[in-house]
Structure 1
Amino acid sequence: MKDTNHPLPVIVEQAELTLAGLQTTMSLAHNTTMQLWQTFGPLKKSIHNKSNGGSYSVQCYADNFMSIPFTPETKFVKWAAVAVFNEDDIPKELEVLKIPKGKWAVFSYKGTISDFGKFAQYVYQEWLPSSGYQLDHRPHYEFMASDYLGPNHPDAQEEVWIPIV
């Protein structure tokens, strides 16, 4: 049954993805996402081998992500990045993250960052347990196209990529 508030995902196979960006360790209680993107923004312009015009917000969680309670204090690694064709000519201030190939549940999300928690709760506590899939231990990410309206705009749209097996 389709939840009209939360559309069903498209299941896709994705090849390895090479990203260039910045990372930080944080938690929801000590959220430094805005500072990360403010630091990355000017550096993004110096990347000449981007493979698309969008940006990636990546979360790397511990192996036991789904087996222990995720609390506001749970630490994870957050990336602000762009996709690149290869690792050549990446500014020295940036790092490379390779997201392994695999199967993904890709959700369309429209709304503000303040409503994203409800959406994530639906994905992990309702959709995933009833989907027949299991969470895979690969990074989770959001893709924002070049015309992304920003995290506080009610019409902002992004793709939410959840690694599954």
Structure 2
Amino acid sequence: MTPRIIQSKSILIVGLKDVLTFMTNGQGTGALARRFMPKRHQILNQVSDQKFSIQIYDQFDYNKISPKTEYIKWVGVEVSGFLNVPEGLETLKMESGKYAVFNYKGKPEGFLSAWQFIHENWLPSSGFTLDDRPHFEKLPEDYHPSNLEVEEEIWVPIV
């Protein structure tokens, strides 16, 4: 897996959030997505049809995470501005910065192996370090975890 290194602009998100752990991620993300998806068509100023799955950590240290590590999980879409945010949805501004962007294509259960490779192999040998900004995945419109093969972009904040 070889990433593209991208200098991202600020990204504005409208969506829903919850506090999850690595242990509750699968069930919690699914529940969050099921609450968000019916409302996404009410968002008028979407930039694209991609969905965002975002993780915000207090301090991310790959070597110290455990199944009980808590983080804020967002499910949402990118927008051009925060005008007319539908009732019940929230806003998030992700600051600009450098990201390593990995393309993942495979079975949904293979995502964890890709994520582990990024943090155990690629990052330590890359010359980059993690930045304290949100980690996220961009998912295509037709993404569904029950698909036999999924495609997504894994965005890792770096400096």
Fold shared per TM-score above 0.5? yes
> What do the CA deviations read for 1:62-98 (whole angstroms, capped 9, x no partner)?
12x1165111111111000000010001102111111
Q: CA distance change for structure 1 residues 40 and 67 in 2, over 3 Å: closer, same or farther?
A: closer
SS in 2 for 1:81: strand
Gaps of 5+ in 1: 1-6
SS in 2 for 1:45: helix
AA in 2 matched with 1:39: R
SS in 2 for 1:73: coil
Mapped to 1, the partners of 2:62 and 2:4 lie a distance apart of: 25
Q: Which runs of 4+ in 1 moved over 6 A?
A: none
Instruction: Classify the secondary structure of the residue corresponding to 1:34.
Output: helix
The answer to whether 1:28 aligns with 2:19 is no
Q: In the alignment, is the contact (CA less than 8 A) between 2:16 and 2:75 conserved in 1?
A: yes
> Could you say which residue in structure 1 is the equivalent of 2:120?
125
Contact 1:142/1:159, CA 8 A, preserved across alignment? yes
Gaps of 5+ in 2: none
Q: Could you state the TM-score of these two structures normalised by the residue count of structure 1?
A: 0.91
Secondary structure of 2:19's aligned partner: strand
Select which of 47, 58, 62 maps to 1:62.
Answer: 58
Kindly provide the amino acid, as one letter, of the partner of residue 42 in structure 1. P
Equivalent residue for 1:52? 48
Question: Given that residues 12 and 103 in structure 1 are in contact (C-alpha distance below 8 angstroms), is that contact kept between their aligned partners in structure 2?
Answer: yes
Shift of 1:112: 2.9
Partner of 1:94: 89
CA contact (8 A) 1:112 1:152 kept: no
Question: Cα distance 1:67–1:28, how it changes in 2: closer, same or farther (>3 A)?
Answer: closer
Equivalent pairs, count = 157
The match for 1:41 among 27, 37, 41 is 37
TM-score by length of 2: 0.94
State the Cα deviation string for residues 105-158 of structure 1 (Å, max 9, x = none). Answer: 00001123321111111001110000000000000000012233x123232100
Please tell me the residue identity of whatever aligns with 1:46. Q
What letter is aligned with 1:47? I
Structure number having the greater helix percentage: 2
